[in-house]
Structures are given as C-alpha cells and as structure tokens.
Amino acid sequence: MSEVDHVLRSQVDRVNRLVVQLQEQVGAVSGQVNAVGAATQQARGELQQLRDEFLAFARQTKLTANVQLAQTRVGVVQDKIQHEFGHHKKVRRTAVGMLQAFDTGLVSEEVVRNVSDELMIQSPRYWLAPALVALAAWSADDRSLCDRAVEEAFRRSPARTSLLFALVLRRQGRQETSVRWLRHYLRAQNPAELGREFAVILESISQGAFGGAGRELLRTTLAQWREALLDDESADDAQVARWRAEVESLRGPSAQQEFPRLAAVSPQWAQLDAALGAARAQRALLDKYSAMLAREDRPSQRLEDAVDDILDRLVSEYDTEELPHRRELAYQEAVISHGGDEDAARKAADLDHAALEETLDYLTVQTTSALTPAAIGASPATQRLSVAACADWFARAHAGFSRDYQASVPADVQAHFATQHSLGAQTFNLPPWTGSFTTPPDQLEHSLVAHWDHHTAALIASLAYPLKRKLIGPAAVSGAVLLLFMGLNAWFAIIAALIVFGIWGGVLYQNADRARKHQHNVRVTLEAAKHDSVLHLRGAYAELRDWQSRYQEADALMPKARELIKELATAQHGASPYDGRVVSGTAEGSA
C-alpha cells in the first residue's frame, strides 16, 4: 500500500510540476501577446509618423527644387530679354531726352541728328528708331526726311506712332494737329482688339493730357466702344468674373488654428472655414479700396512733365515679340514668391495673364488698369479712374460673392465621433456617432455618453473571465480522481482530488485575476477616452459660438463695402489737372 501511495504521490507531483510549467508558459505567452500587440501598435504609429514626415520632406524637397529651378529660369529669361531686346532701352531713354533737349536748347541739332541716325542703324526693326529720326528732322526743318521717317515708323507700328506724335504735338502746343493724330489713332482701332499701348489713352485721360478737344473726342469714342462691347453678354460676364476673382483673392486664411476642436469634430468644418474666410474679405476690401480712395495724387505742375511721363510709358511698353518671354518670366517669379508651389503660382500668374496679352478689348483694358496697373504701366490716378469705370462690375461681383458665401453657411452644424483606441493586443473602434449642435448641450453630451456606454459595456463584459464555467473541468476531473481511488484509499482519493482541483483551480484563478486587471485597465482607458470625447464636444460647442460671433462681425461689414464701391464710382467725375488747358503762345512759338 505504501508503494501505491508513493507511486500516486510521485504522479501527483509530476502533474503538479506540469501544471506549474503550463501556468508559466501560459503567462509567458500572454505577456508575449501583449508585448507583440503593444509593439505592433507602436510600430503602426511610428510608421504613420514616418510616412507623414517622408511626405512632408518629399514635398518640401520638391518645393525647394521648384524654387531653385525657377531662379535659374528667371536668369535665363532675363538674359534672353536683354540679348534680344536690350538695345531698345537705349532708344527709349533717348526719346524723352530728345524732347527735353529741344526745350532747353542745350544740345545742337547736329548732335541730335547723329544720335538718331546711330539708333536707327542699331535698331533696324524697332518702331521708335525712325520716329526719333523724324523728330530730329522736324527740329532741323528737314520736311522730306521727316515725312519719310514718319512713314517708316508708321509702317512698323501705326498705333504707337500715332500716339507718340499726338503726345509730342500736344506737348509743343500744337493742339489741333495733336487731336488730328489722336482721331487718326482712334479710327484705326478695333475696340475688341486694342494694342497694349492703349493704356496710354487711359493715362492721358487721367492727366487731361489732350486738353478740352481731345477730352471730348475720347469721351465720345470710348462711350461708343463701351456700349458696343456691352451688347456682348459674354464680354460683360468676363469682366464680372475678373472682379469676382479680385474679391476672392481677398479671402482670409484658414481659421483652423483658431477653432481646432470644431475643425476636428465637425463634418461641416470646410464649409464653416470657407465662409469665415470669405466674410473676412469684406475687411480686406474696405482697407484696400479705402486707401485707394483716400490717396492724394499729386500731378506734375507743368503739362510738359505730365506728357513726358506718359511718353515714358508709351515708349517703354513691351513689344509684341517680347510678350512670351514676359509671360514666362511672370510665371517663374510667381513660383519663387509662392515658395515653389506651382499650382498657386499658376493661379497668380493667370490673374495677370490678361495684362500680357498681345491685344485686349477695351473692357479688359479698363479692368486690367484697375486690378493690375503696374502690368500695363498705369499710374495710381489712372487706376482710380479705371476702378470708377468698372464700379458696376465690381458691385455685381461683390454682391454675387457675398450672396454665395452667406448661402454656403450650413444650417445644421454637427459633431461626429468615430475614434479608434489601442487596448494592448486589441483595438476598439467606436461606432460612428453624430449629433447636431442645434441640440441643447446637456442633451448632446448625454447622447454621446450613452453611445460610449452602450458600445463599451459589451466589450468590457466580453473581457470578464468565466471562472465558474472554467471550474467545471477541474471539478469533473477531481471527481473522477476521487471515484477512481476511493476504493483503494479514501483519504488518498480525497487528497488527490483536492490537489488536482487546487492546482488547476489556482491556475484558473490566476487567469481570472489577470483578466480582471486587464478588464479594469480597459475600463479606465475607455472612460478616459469617453471623458476626452465629452471635453472635445464641449470645446467644439463653445468654438462654434465663437465662430458665429466672428462670422457675424466680419459679415456685418458687407454693407459698408457695398457703399464704398458706390463711392468709388464717383471718382471718375473729378477734374483732371489739365482739363481744357491751352499751352501759351510763347511755348507754341518756340516749338
């Protein structure tokens, strides 16, 4: 019997060791599974971060490369312009200098003649070179040479030549002849295809450079052109579209940093952000055009100086052959100014594209002079008059812009939660929850909390260890051991059954304890996540109220902007500095 007890005791010890080893292995595997889950989650997060950093680095690298390439291309284009058209600068500088030399009488006719002859030889296709020869011959009273030079200049560029001599004759007090050249120029123009030099006409209007007769001729002609062009609805719409683009360009930047929680939880954030940025354009519009309206233009004290300024703009205007290079140069410079962002650069370049076309219709010339005056050489005074002439398009564009962003404000702003949370080896995905901010905040929070509780309760319950059910196995085995050895030795059978049940039950209890701890940790984690969600909801609710206040404040400036545009329309009625002026007889006699 002792031998049987010894054998049984050794078997029980062996089972005990095996159970302990199994327990250790199960614990080790459980720890490894948790470690693998945590490592996987960490690796996923690090991989996502690495991906984001790589994409940001790749984008920054591309932007830097775009800037460097654009800088290189700017240099190439500038060199090409200098090589092909650089010699024109000398001719341009000489033109007004020659007229001023006539005024002072400090330069001999022979020197003027020699300079004009030299420039004619150096610039064989440039329209201004024979025009200078004509001026030199005129000063020397060489009618034959003057006529031939005028004909050659007119052949090369009829429009610019007509304007040049109209301005020169007005400068010298030859009022009747000046208006005759001006009439000749206007009759030859197609208002749908005006040359770039037409900006000089707008400049002359703002300066009153052609006197009373010229002013009346221009007023009548331009009114006829405008009426004819406005019969084409598409032309009218095109100008409204350009002014709409001008108003759009005044939008405020994204307000995401001002309202981070609202941006994070609301599906309507893109609409809210766009509407606020658009409303803030009202302030930018007021600031920009109020400054234009308040600006005091100081005209030159002498008519000759004013005409010289206009002549400078005429002779320095880009030639048609130069425009493709200028368009490329404008785009590459936009790439540099936008930090390598080619899409933004293309949009910016497209806004100025009309200013670099070979021909423009009269309506587009007005709009271009108002929006991008530097591109066509218009002065601030001309810009203000052009804005006044475009006030109707401006008003329609502003009204449409305001109407559209006001209509885009969503009537129902919602909050949306569908978060993901790591729970060791598990991941909990909160099913989507959507609530409307029109709901009172207490009810909204209660709905979100109930949503969390409903979906987390099942998960937490599933993590509970079924100890009672698990104990059925060891109880059955212990009962079998008891029955098996009861006939041999009752005490041994009882002890053996208790040992089996105790060891097996101990293992199950440890498993249940680990499960309870894990369940507790999950409960704490999800409670914290629920609390964060509620805080984000409260923050978003408060930010929405703040957004509404700022939007209303920005949008309230819309009537003021509308009134300012109406006020801009009156700027065209101001008197030009030289309206009706007649040059003195002394000046005319000395010409």
Q: How does DSSP assign 320-340, residue by residue?
A: GGGHHHHHHHHHHHHHHHTTT
Residue 538 contacts residue 441 (beta carbons within 8 Å)? yes
In angstroms, rounded to a whole number, what is the distance separating the alpha carbons of residues 450 and 444?
A: 10
Quick one: pLDDT at residue 297?
A: 64
What is the secondary structure of 386-422 as a DSSP string? HHHHTHHHHHHHHHHHHHHHHHHS-SS-EEEE--EEE
Residue type, 329: L
Task: Report percent pLDDT > 70 for the chain.
Answer: 73
The gap from C-alpha 541 to its chain's centroid, in whole angstroms, comes to: 28
Under a CB-based contact definition with an 8 Å cutoff, are residues 518 and 463 in contact? Answer: yes
Residue reference for tokens 């006529």: 147
Give this prediction's pTM.
Answer: 0.66
8 A C-beta contact, residue 460 and residue 526: yes
- Chain centroid to CA 398: how far? 19
Q: How far is CA 525 from CA 9, 39, 108, 261, 496, in A?
A: 47, 18, 96, 21, 43
- pLDDT over 60 at 565, yes or no: yes
Contacts for 195 with CB less than 8 Å, ≥ 6 apart: 159, 160, 189, 358, 359
Distance CA 583, CA 306 (A): 13
Residue 550's region, left for phi above 0, alpha for psi from -120 to 50, else beta, is: alpha
| φ, ψ dihedrals at 431, nearest 5° | -60, 150
| Residue-level pLDDT at 577 | 39
The pLDDT value given to residue 295:
79
Run of H or E including 195: strand 194-195
Average pLDDT over residues 496-506: 71
The DSSP result for 145-162, as a single string, is: HHHHHHHHHHHH-HHHHH
| Bridge partners of residue 415, in order along the sequence | 435
Q: Which of 223, 201, 226 lies closest to 214, judged by CA?
A: 201
Q: What is the mean pLDDT of the chain?
A: 78
The pLDDT, as a whole number, for residue 210 is 76
Confidence check: pLDDT of 510 > 90: no
pLDDT band with cut points at 50, 70 and 90 for residue 1: very low
> Could you give the percent of the chain with pLDDT greater than 90?
20
pLDDT digits (tens, 9 = 90+) for 361-414: 888 888 888 888 877 777 788 888 889 889 999 999 999 999 999 999 999 999
State the pLDDT confidence band at 116, using cuts at 50, 70 and 90.
Answer: confident
Q: How far apart are CA 68 and CA 129, in angstroms?
A: 38
Question: How distant, in Å, are the alpha carbons of 66, 183, 272, 278, 416 from that of 255?
Answer: 28, 55, 9, 11, 19
pLDDT in tens, 401-457: 999 999 999 999 999 988 776 676 667 778 889 999 999 999 999 998 898 888 877
Most confident range (mean pLDDT) of 143-147, 184-188, 326-330 is 143-147
